[in-house]
Structure 1
Amino acid sequence: MIYNPAAANPLNGNPLRSREDVAKSLCDLFDPLLPYFSQGGARVRLSGTAAHFDRIAADVEGFARPLWGLVPFAAGGGQFDHWKMYREGLANGMDPEHPEYWGQVSWIDQRMVEMAAIGFALRLIPDLIFHPLDQRAKDNIVAYLTHIRKYDFADNNWKFFRILIDLGLEEIGADVDRSYTDRYLEELDTFYLGDGWYRDGNVPRVDHYIPFAMHFYGLIYATLKRGDDARRERYRERAAAFAKDIRHWFDADGGTLAFGRSLTYRFACGGFWGALAFADLEALPWPEIKGQFMRHLRWWSDKPIAERDGVLSIGYGYPNLFMSESYNSAGSPYWALKAFLPLALGADHPFWQAEESDAFVPNEPVTLPHPGMIMMHTPGNVVALSSGQQNHQMRFGAEKYAKFAYGSRYAFSVEAEERIFQLATFDGMIGLSDDGRHYRIREDNEEVLIAQAGIYARWKPWTDVTVETFLVPASPWHLRIHRITTPRRLETIEGGFAVERADLNADSVEEDVGMASVHTSTDFTTIVDRSSDVSRQGRAHRALPNTHLIWAKTLVPQLMGTIEPGTTVLASAIMAQPTDSGDPSSAPAMPDLQALERTIRQNGVSASPMGMVKRP
């Protein structure tokens, strides 16, 4: 038999239609971890790969992150046979005299992140994880958590971790200095942008941490905190507003927009829908919320996201260290279990009782100024035309935040070789080279405007080269226009959407002056030149392996050309859809650039995750 890597996925074969199906999937995801628990139960080491933090902290990740699913499962009456192991592991990990002690924290540390799950467990199921322990173990747990909470947490969503730790400490009767908690709650409010949107810290960045962290933890606080009624209600109101926007990051098949960092957390992206249910917040009709939640889990069920033993891999659609972050250890992917929060609810809750409804799919593009995106729903896909965000700190930050277009079905690629211009993928992006070997791409912007008609961004790949990019929705197509002013000759490569490449060159490709297309057994993707200043050659590029998030081998249509010193306008029409639709001859024409720019400047807002400014 030929090995089917998707068969190792614990979700594979599960219909994921009912509460029982979801509970089974949680147990199936956890069971492969059992052989990797240490003798004392305090550590889980899953592979030899490393993150930037120490091995002990990575082992604590493996121990703690499954609790995001196991705790609500138990709170909802689920039968889990290994709470004794978890109790012993918790006691041993926080015992300074035990060989499996987790170590003392005295600065910003990954252990701070993982203690949030411990606080959540102490708040929700203390009778299973805390009260049966002897007094010495209880004292050690209180001492460890009260010690760790007095240090500064990272200035982003991490601030919620101290708050969740405090929920647990308060539940078990420990003394808590509320000033620490109150200060972080106030500082978290400074990240709020309006209309339900946050940024993830004091940086111009809006990504999946907003639904699966800021709102996820906020809704847990709103549900489990006693008192602080005004703030709890604010969290609920913000989440309700946010739901109406974030649904446009999910396609009709359950896939979500592949954008930003930490995508190895996979179906944690569905945690927001589960958190609405946990908070009993009908921000959208229950059938729509349930549909979003269940479709998202099903979307992952046929992907080879696990190793042969069923342990979730670092990666996205398959095991892939290229796209991972420096803080991703082998235990990191188990934040995906955040999706199982609604298992805390009984089967009689309206969320579980609801019949799934189809996704809301608007006919027109939807403008989301806070993340700086225009969303287009196309068959089996959602496309984000993106103004570009700044992330200089993360691996492949430009690919994850600054491309011109992202999708759910077609995701994006990272670059594997920055010194071979001709081998670069550049899907959703344009690459520029002045020596034919090295290249520059957009990393950040000097100015951004977003309007219903399109997005304008001005950016500099070099200090003496200026690119003004216009992104125009024309669903299922979009237009990209680049007005490039350069003092020297530049080579350019621009890519459309990548699709999976078949073996034996079985895909049909078309390469010509001014266009490139790829037909596969499932998809069609094309890029059509609409430039008048220069002619570009089409190419169906075989990308380097393991650079795409969903498929290990891809083809991407590209346009290649050279521009001379001065100002040049490059324009292209791009589209990707399932194979049963798509025709290059229907590509939209180049618009009147002066009229487009005038419209955007008159009607646009200055889009930045640091806050929007309406132009006078």
Structure 2
Amino acid sequence: MSSPLELPGDERQPSPYTGYTRVHWEAAADSLLRAAWRWATPGSALLDLPGRPSRSGVRSDGLEGYARTFLAAGFRVAGAGGKDPFGWLERYAAGLAAGTRTPGRDDAESWPLVLDHHVQGQPMVESASVALGLRLTRPWLWDRLEPGVQDRAEEWLRGALRHTPAPNNWYLFPFTVAGFLESVGRGDAETARARERALELLDSWYLGEGWYSDGDGRAFDHYNGWALHLYPVLDAHLDGDAARSERYGARLRAHLESFGLFFGGDGAPLHFGRSLTYRFAAGAAVALGAVTGHTPLSPGASRRIVSGALRYFLDRGASGREGLLSLGWHGPHEATLQPYSGPASPYWASKAFVSLLAPGDHPLWTDTEEPAPSEGPDRVVALPGPGLLVHSTRADGIVRLHNHGCDHVRPHEGEAGVEDDPLYDRQAYSTRSGPTSAVNTADNHLCVEVGGVQSARRRIRPLGAGQGDGWGWAASWHRPVFPQGAPMVPGLRVESVTVVRGRYELRVHRVAGAPDGARLRQTGWATGPEEPVTSALHPVHGWDSADEVRAPQGTAFTRWALVPRLTADDAGGSGVYAALATLTAEEDPEPLPRTLTEVSVTADGFEARWAADGARTRITFRPLTVELLP
């Protein structure tokens, strides 16, 4: 599907992989803005895009349309040194004046007030985008406003400093508002405290290897790039603060060491975590690293990643027939969304246009595109901090993530009361497949079935991760919980290890304390007729039968899917269960039954030989050790 946006023809000499240059990025920004502004109110304060409203309501959604598109306009105009051929800033200046005239009033233009996150939270998110847009365009917008409009805007923005954010990346919204106010000479003790508090929390959430948890729990996803790294590093860059830039820039550099691998050979980001409707915002951290110099990636590889992600979505219909970004992944997709998503939510994708802060003569734009990390030799990256294992295969460009440490359970929540979250609780995710919906059979999941009720995986406790030459592993344990009011099973515990070599995934589980008559079910990757990929799941030890289960609601990649499944019929007590899984786009892949030989299993261990080279994988659960032996 071609994009309805008005883009120039491909430039394959400088950009042999994507055909996109800086000119394409400017044109994409202008086209997205042009489409969105057709839905502005007469006074330009709200952009009421068509679609189902978010839980915050239509007025908040209209502010979201203004604020998030302002980000794209801000990067576009600031990157062009103030040149604004389509007069975007005049519209945003008029909207700012109209929206802040009588905040909270129920009329055609007034912005909602910024209140506590549990009362009326969404405007706090949007206040950061308004503040960042104003900061980026200060000489051409803010400095030309009447003093009264400036005062009204400040008063509205200060709502973010005086109310309580959500206990996660939201603390960076008042941080960003305060940064703008200080940059225009309106700082005080209130702005200083907002910035100090955000950085205190950010430091407490840092686990190393460039990864932050999104709050006090164990949520690791794309918010690392488009929020937790973006705001502090960009703030320090705009401030010219060398010390802060080095501190938080070093973390961004470490993050990109692994995150650069999170994009497939087709440009797709890993389909993992919430807010995936922000789509090519996933490339924002890569672009920011190139702009600030805090990156291990070459300029050519950085452009390949960010332009690849932009083109991936535009070519697959993300902007729809009218040029508006839809709520979904490729196109509209309800299961990808969260209740806070409204018609303008996808425009957080505007963060990717931070790339335009690199001028036309910057190496990000002048160097020839180079392969992305996933297009080089097969790679495996183990991340013990977040408990993730990532591996890519050059033959098909697929990147796969194995989750042994990320969940979306907050510290104060009990496990049994937390709803199923397919975007966090599955064992594996990829750039070519998405999870099945919560009402279909769960893909990439091990469940214990007791009395006909299947368990869920909620809080995930990492046990370690590591890598060697061409292989890697990650391990975790969880306590199976039973929804629908079913009782917990005392002492029930599942310890899980994933070992990867090339496209092969060895999944080994030690189940302890299962009641008599319990069943186990292990599922693999969900695939369908609309994606030319193959999913296979082979029983190695402990399983009684294999079949396929239909997922009629499909995934973000296919309208209808099949999920391979293994079943152990009488799994009472304790035991070790092993399976071999694969997701590949290779033609005629080697059948999985020929992959492993000489399988040996004990009560606390597993060992098998790889047929291709004779190497042996040995897993011992107590104490946990994972080895690849010659």
Q: Do they fold alike, i.e. is TM over 0.5?
A: yes
Question: Of the candidates 398, 403, 412, which is equivalent to residue 381 of structure 1?
Answer: 398
- Summarize the Cα distance change of 1:148–1:241 in structure 2 as closer, same or farther, 3 Å threshold: closer
Structure 2 counterparts to residues 117-136 of structure 1, below 5 A = 117-136=129-148
Query: Are 1:573 and 2:580 an aligned pair?
Result: yes
Question: Of the candidates 83, 92, 95, which is equivalent to residue 98 of structure 2?
Answer: 92
Aligned residue for 2:615? Answer: none
2:143 partner SS: coil
Give, as a single letter, the amino acid of the residue that structure 2 aligns with 1:550: F
1:158 partner SS: helix
Question: Of the candidates 215, 218, 222, which is equivalent to residue 204 of structure 1?
Answer: 218
Aligned residue for 1:607? Answer: none
Gaps of 5+ in 1: 417-423, 503-519, 605-616
The offset of 1:9, in angstroms, is 6.8
Q: Distance in 2 between matches of 1:534 and 1:226?
A: 60
The offset of 1:440, in angstroms, is 1.8
Aligned residue for 2:437? Answer: 414
How far does the alpha carbon of each residue in 1:113-163 deviate from its partner, in whole angstroms, 9 at most, with x for none? 111112112222123332333232222112212343222322321222122
2:228 partner SS: helix
The offset of 1:375, in angstroms, is 1.5
How far does the alpha carbon of each residue in 1:244-297 deviate from its partner, in whole angstroms, 9 at most, with x for none? 121122223322221111111111100111111232435322222222222222
The offset of 1:221, in angstroms, is 1.2
Residues 304, 370 of structure 2: 8 Å contact kept: yes
Q: Distance in 2 between matches of 1:314 and 1:392?
A: 25
Query: Are 1:33 and 2:36 an aligned pair?
Result: yes
Query: Are 1:18 and 2:21 an aligned pair?
Result: yes
The offset of 1:397, in angstroms, is 5.3
Structure 2 counterparts to residues 41-80 of structure 1, below 5 A = 41-77=44-80, 78=83, 79-80=85-86
- Summarize the Cα distance change of 1:183–1:76 in structure 2 as closer, same or farther, 3 Å threshold: same
Give, as a single letter, the amino acid of the residue that structure 2 aligns with 1:482: H
Residues 383, 466 of structure 2: 8 Å contact kept: no
- Summarize the Cα distance change of 1:337–1:84 in structure 2 as closer, same or farther, 3 Å threshold: same
Residues 526, 563 of structure 2: 8 Å contact kept: yes
Q: Distance in 2 between matches of 1:156 and 1:70?
A: 27
Q: Distance in 2 between matches of 1:44 and 1:401?
A: 32
Question: Of the candidates 153, 161, 164, which is equivalent to residue 141 of structure 1?
Answer: 153
The offset of 1:93, in angstroms, is 1.0
Question: Of the candidates 353, 364, 367, which is equivalent to residue 382 of structure 2?
Answer: 367
Aligned residue for 1:598? Answer: 620
Question: Of the candidates 496, 499, 503, which is equivalent to residue 472 of structure 1?
Answer: 499
Q: Distance in 1 between matches of 2:342 and 2:620?
A: 48
Aligned residue for 2:484? Answer: none
Q: Distance in 1 between matches of 2:398 and 2:301?
A: 18
The offset of 1:381, in angstroms, is 0.6
RMSD: 2.7
Structure 2 counterparts to residues 488-503 of structure 1, below 5 A = 488-501=516-529
Give, as a single letter, the amino acid of the residue that structure 2 aligns with 1:434: V
Question: Of the candidates 524, 534, 549, which is equivalent to residue 524 of structure 1?
Answer: 534
The offset of 1:172, in angstroms, is 2.8
Give, as a single letter, the amino acid of the residue that structure 2 aligns with 1:495: T
Give, as a single letter, the amino acid of the residue that structure 1 aligns with 2:547: G
- Summarize the Cα distance change of 1:40–1:356 in structure 2 as closer, same or farther, 3 Å threshold: same
2:87 partner SS: coil
Give, as a single letter, the amino acid of the residue that structure 2 aligns with 1:143: E
- Summarize the Cα distance change of 1:348–1:409 in structure 2 as closer, same or farther, 3 Å threshold: same
Q: Distance in 2 between matches of 1:358 and 1:322?
A: 32
Q: Distance in 1 between matches of 2:247 and 2:42?
A: 45
Question: Of the candidates 478, 481, 501, which is equivalent to residue 459 of structure 1?
Answer: 478
Question: Of the candidates 383, 391, 394, which is equivalent to residue 408 of structure 2?
Answer: 391
Q: Distance in 2 between matches of 1:11 and 1:406?
A: 32
2:334 partner SS: coil
Query: Are 1:433 and 2:449 an aligned pair?
Result: yes
How far does the alpha carbon of each residue in 1:492-536 deviate from its partner, in whole angstroms, 9 at most, with x for none? 43222122325xxxxxxxxxxxxxxxxx7x2222111112x3411
Aligned residue for 2:328? Answer: 315
Q: Distance in 1 between matches of 2:516 and 2:49?
A: 51
Give, as a single letter, the amino acid of the residue that structure 1 aligns with 2:197: R
Residues 576, 582 of structure 1: 8 Å contact kept: no
Give, as a single letter, the amino acid of the residue that structure 1 aligns with 2:509: H
Aligned residue for 1:612? Answer: none
Give, as a single letter, the amino acid of the residue that structure 1 aligns with 2:479: K
- Summarize the Cα distance change of 1:189–1:445 in structure 2 as closer, same or farther, 3 Å threshold: closer
Q: Distance in 2 between matches of 1:7 and 1:552?
A: 21
The offset of 1:447, in angstroms, is 5.6
Q: Distance in 1 between matches of 2:462 and 2:305?
A: 35
Aligned residue for 2:423? Answer: 400
Q: Distance in 2 between matches of 1:597 and 1:272?
A: 36
Aligned residue for 1:558? Answer: 565
Give, as a single letter, the amino acid of the residue that structure 1 aligns with 2:550: R
Aligned residue for 1:104? Answer: 113
Residues 198, 214 of structure 1: 8 Å contact kept: yes
Residues 404, 461 of structure 2: 8 Å contact kept: no
Q: Distance in 2 between matches of 1:84 and 1:49?
A: 29
Query: Are 1:172 and 2:184 an aligned pair?
Result: yes
Residues 405, 462 of structure 2: 8 Å contact kept: no
The offset of 1:223, in angstroms, is 0.7
Residues 524, 581 of structure 1: 8 Å contact kept: no
- Summarize the Cα distance change of 1:435–1:31 in structure 2 as closer, same or farther, 3 Å threshold: farther
How far does the alpha carbon of each residue in 1:360-392 deviate from its partner, in whole angstroms, 9 at most, with x for none? 345452211122122111222111122142213
How far does the alpha carbon of each residue in 1:441-466 deviate from its partner, in whole angstroms, 9 at most, with x for none? 21123563323352332222243232
- Summarize the Cα distance change of 1:318–1:259 in structure 2 as closer, same or farther, 3 Å threshold: same
Residues 499, 505 of structure 2: 8 Å contact kept: yes
Give, as a single letter, the amino acid of the residue that structure 1 aligns with 2:42: Q
Give the structure-2-normalised TM-score. 0.84
Gaps of 5+ in 2: 11-17, 482-487, 608-617
The offset of 1:602, in angstroms, is 5.6
Q: Distance in 2 between matches of 1:572 and 1:103?
A: 53
- Greater relative contact order, per chain length (Cα 8 Å cut-off, separation 6+): 1
The offset of 1:60, in angstroms, is 0.8
Aligned residue for 2:612? Answer: none
Residues 299, 363 of structure 2: 8 Å contact kept: yes
Give, as a single letter, the amino acid of the residue that structure 1 aligns with 2:430: G
The offset of 1:218, in angstroms, is 2.0
2:315 partner SS: coil
1:248 partner SS: coil
Residues 207, 386 of structure 2: 8 Å contact kept: no
Q: Distance in 1 between matches of 2:572 and 2:500?
A: 30
Pairs aligned (count): 571
The offset of 1:205, in angstroms, is 1.6
The offset of 1:433, in angstroms, is 2.7
Percent identity for Structure 1 against Structure 2 = 27
Larger mean CA deviation between 305-314 and 199-208 belongs to 305-314
How far does the alpha carbon of each residue in 1:527-565 deviate from its partner, in whole angstroms, 9 at most, with x for none? 11112x3411222x33122x4122222222222442242
How far does the alpha carbon of each residue in 1:146-187 deviate from its partner, in whole angstroms, 9 at most, with x for none? 343222322321222122212322333324332332232223
- Summarize the Cα distance change of 1:577–1:235 in structure 2 as closer, same or farther, 3 Å threshold: same
- Summarize the Cα distance change of 1:277–1:470 in structure 2 as closer, same or farther, 3 Å threshold: closer
Question: Of the candidates 588, 596, 600, which is equivalent to residue 596 of structure 2?
Answer: 588
Residues 454, 600 of structure 1: 8 Å contact kept: no
Aligned residue for 1:542? Answer: 550
